[in-house]
Amino acid sequence: MSWTNRKGLLVSIGLIGSAVILVLILNNRFSILSSCAASGVDTAADWHRNITALTVPTEAYLFEKKIPLENWEVRERFEREFYYNYTNADQLLLWWKRLRRWEPMIDSMLDAAGLSRDFKYLMIAESGARNVQSPARANGYWQFIAPTAQRWGLRVDQYIDDRLDPILSTQAAIRYLLKLKAEFNGDYFLSAAGYNMGEEGVEEALAYQKQSGYWNLYVNEETMRYPLRIAVIKEFLEHGQKYGFQFEKMTPYKRHSLKIVSVQGPISSIADWALSVGYTYKDVKMFNPRFIAKNIPSGSYEIRLPANDSERTTVR
């Protein structure tokens, strides 16, 4: 390669490297500034000063029980979750907006089951109130792995994944939480730990360590963090104004008005069926995420569709 060509190559590499660094800097600054805007802070510097000025709660409650923050080890775990979630302000804002859509439904189901309403924050801790898939292939709002989902009455196959349906998955999660509540004699903290690591793991840890409650239990790091993360999410979403989050100025995501159409499968093409009834494939998929294939197999199904034009997902 001639010197001229080598020189040109080096210049090109230098320009690409500079562009990458600039993008990283701007991306980081945008993240910080978006958090500043969320809390009413004007600059990144003010945002960082505001963190050090924060007063971490001396009392916190979850599942109607007081968390033992007077214990130094529990408090340090709580503070870790507190600062971590505070600095992810953009996520807190989205969690608040998404939760407003589903909170009435979830609260009514929890009330009917006799469970604490705080379990809705477990769902936020799991998924942020949206359909996500974990590296372990847990899926949906409540993050079920396939065998657990099927155990609690959800269909998971190549056509249907009920984990992605917010109503069906909430019903299944409540059935599971009721089982955990009974298994751990009404201890919601152990129930939450069991939801995170499996009830068998919690039972083995309790037996080996000769303990009966959550706070003296030593288990994996994720489960050690789990109830405290739920408690911190609750603190921010219920008392955000104390920490600069002016949620009352935001517009929550609304619950959609839908109509239900009963259909008999098989349907060879969801897109063609949608168009035949005056909607689009996008309308069907957005409101019926449980249909993961492009067709629907034999059987009876209910399909949710926009009740009026303002609820459509397609631009007209």
Q: Is 133 helix (H, G, I), strand (E, B) or coil?
A: strand
Residue 13 lies in a domain: yes
- Please say if the pLDDT value at position 176 is more than 60: yes
Adjacent-strand bridge partners of 306? 258
Residue 316 lies in a domain: no
One domain for residues 7 and 32: yes
- DSSP annotation of 256: P
More confident residue, 71 or 31: 71
Domain count, the chain: 3
One domain for residues 103 and 188: yes
Instruction: Give me the domain span that covers residue 24.
Output: 3-53
- Please say if the pLDDT value at position 271 is more than 80: yes
Residue 32 lies in a domain: yes
We report the CATH number of the domain holding residue 134 as 1.10.530.10
One domain for residues 120 and 228: yes
Query: Mean of the pLDDT values across residues 53-79?
Result: 94
**Rounded Cα–Cα distance for residues 107 and 255 (Å):** 14
One domain for residues 48 and 72: no
pLDDT tens, position by position, 126-155:
999 999 999 989 999 999 999 999 999 999
**Rounded Cα–Cα distance for residues 148 and 132 (Å):** 16
One domain for residues 38 and 93: no
φ, ψ of residue 62 in degrees (nearest 5):
-145, 135
Per DSSP, helices labelled H in 40-88 are 44-53, 72-86
23: pLDDT confidence band, cut at 50, 70 and 90? very low
Residue 114 lies in a domain: yes
Can you give the pLDDT at residue 315?
85
Can you give the pLDDT at residue 43?
53
The pairs formed by 35-42 with CB atoms below 8 angstroms and a separation of 24 or more are 35/87, 35/88, 35/89, 35/90, 38/89, 38/90, 38/92, 38/93, 38/244, 38/245, 39/89, 39/243, 39/244, 39/245, 40/244, 40/246, 41/244
Can you give the pLDDT at residue 31?
47
One domain for residues 196 and 216: yes
Query: Mean of the pLDDT values across residues 239-246?
Result: 91
Can you give the pLDDT at residue 252?
95
- Please say if the pLDDT value at position 28 is more than 60: no
Can you give the pLDDT at residue 52?
73
**Rounded Cα–Cα distance for residues 79 and 72 (Å):** 10
One domain for residues 110 and 161: yes
One domain for residues 146 and 288: no
One domain for residues 166 and 192: yes
Average pLDDT, rounded, for the chain = 88
State pTM to two decimals: 0.83
pLDDT tens, position by position, 190-219:
999 999 999 999 999 999 999 999 999 999
One domain for residues 67 and 42: no
Residue 51: exposed, middle, or buried by beta-carbon count in 10 A (0-12, 13-18, 19+)? middle
Taking a C-beta distance cutoff of 8 angstroms, is the pair 314, 280 a contact?
yes
Within 13 Å of residue 41, how many CA atoms lie on the same side as its CB? 22
One domain for residues 46 and 95: no
Can you give the pLDDT at residue 76?
96
pLDDT tens, position by position, 118-127:
999 999 999 9
Can you give the pLDDT at residue 308?
94
**Rounded Cα–Cα distance for residues 126 and 192 (Å):** 11
Q: Are strands 61-62 and 296-306 parallel, antiparallel or unpaired?
A: unpaired
33: pLDDT confidence band, cut at 50, 70 and 90? very low
- Please say if the pLDDT value at position 37 is more than 50: no
